[in-house]
Structure 1
């Protein structure tokens, strides 16, 4: 696996290194030893899947606060998304900086979302499926959100959302 650090600090794009032959290919998408070598979380206690039938579906920006702040591994198994992370750790040198990457079934990449980062995405294709691994269990009292187009984040989305939950569309501005 190739570990490409992103700005803001702590986020990574993890790309498998497939080995192929006449049967197809094989590639690791997780190895606790390799993650530990990069100082990344190696224990995940919850996994989820999200499906999105229509291109232009936006989910985010979401995170959990301490003591339930969570690391996420995000991987697309069908279709493609524009995935965004924002550093919302007030004591961080990269506070409010963001990174955006395209994740797709074709590129098989994984986004490592550190604890203390907001996360969201917009689907680029129809029929998207995304898998998540989380280091903490869902804790409703620790759950937070900010509007996807909050000016404090300065995110340039590749398109306007056509499908969005009322909650995601009406979050207040991020409070610094």
Structure 2
């Protein structure tokens, strides 16, 4: 997350030479070591006001992706004549979403960022001979989420509360 030029909005004094810095905020993400294109939330005072007035209170997705983690297949011919086949496939689904609610009347703001992920692994192992074929199939899945909530009250000075929550992880 990056921001610049917001010091005066938070009641801080602007350093000399920094008066001309344009108000801007956004997010830059790295996924599996690859930098993704930065997302700019707003640029300039008019962009900030537009973002404040038009910010949805429902979560909006900033990144949704599905990735193939594993796709493996192997066939082994054993010395006793058995053939072992093994197949494994795994995928992950990621969702980064957030919501913002700003009240100029009450002079407060609430922000919620949700990081959700689901992982699924499926596979099978078979033993093959000339007289029979047997095997086992298996599936595993997990779902997790991390919530980052921030509340800011700027009615009488600036007060902020940052909370990070992790609901229980589901594994099947």
TM range (shorter): under 0.3
The structure having more radius of gyration, on CA atoms, is 2
Structure showing the higher strand proportion among its residues: 2
Bigger relative contact order, structure 1 or 2 (CA pairs below 8 A, ≥6 apart): 1
TM (norm. structure 1) is 0.24
Question: What is the TM-score when the length of structure 2 is the normalising length?
Answer: 0.24
